[in-house]
Structure 1
Amino acid sequence: MPFATDESWPRGLIDIFKVCSDKSRPLENHLYGAYNRLLHYCFGDTFSFFVTPQHPIDDDGSKHTIDFIVFLIVFNGEGLPVLIAAIKEEIWLNYASRRLEADQQLRRRYEALLSDCPLPRLWGLSFLGTSVRFYQGNSTNKMISPPYMGRPVEYMLPSSFLEGEWDVDILSQQGFDRMKQIMADITAGAAQ
Structure 2
Amino acid sequence: MTLPTYVSERFHLFDRNTSDESQWYGPVNTLLGYLFPPQQYEVAPQYKGPVYPGSVEFTTLYIVRSARGNTKHPICFVEIKPAGHLHDLAARATADRQMRERFDHLVEGLIIPKLIGFSAIGSRFAVYEYNGASRELTPPEIPRDPRIVNDTAPAGRWAHDFLDAGDGEAKLLEVVQSIRDLCDAL
With the length of structure 2 as denominator, give the TM-score of the two structures: 0.86
5 Å-filtered alignment, 1:102-113, equals 102-113=95-106
> 2-side partners of 1:11 and 1:55: how far apart?
29
Structure 1 unaligned blocks of 5 or more: 1-5
2:91 aligns to what?
Answer: 98
| Alignment: residue pair count | 181
Q: Which residue of structure 2 aligns with residue 75 of structure 1?
A: 65
Per-residue CA shift, 1:96-155, capped at 9, x if unaligned? Answer: 111010000011000000233321110110000001011111122221111111222235
Q: Secondary structure at the match of 1:136?
A: strand
- Which amino acid is 1:49 matched to? Y
Q: Counterparts of 2:11 and 2:115 in 1: how far apart (Å)?
A: 26
**1:182 is aligned with what amino acid?**
V
Amino acid at match of 1:137: Y
Change (3 A) 1:28 1:163: closer
Change (3 A) 1:187 1:161: closer
Over aligned residues, Cα RMSD in angstroms?
A: 2.5
Q: Kindly indicate whether residue 1 of structure 2 is the aligned counterpart of residue 11 of structure 1.
A: no
Q: Equivalents in 2 of 1:23, 1:161: separation in Å? A: 20
Question: 2:94 & 2:16 partners in 1: Cα distance?
Answer: 25
Q: TM-score, normalised by structure 1?
A: 0.83
Q: 2:157 aligns with which of 165, 172, 189?
A: 165
Q: What amino acid sits opposite 2:63 in the alignment?
A: I
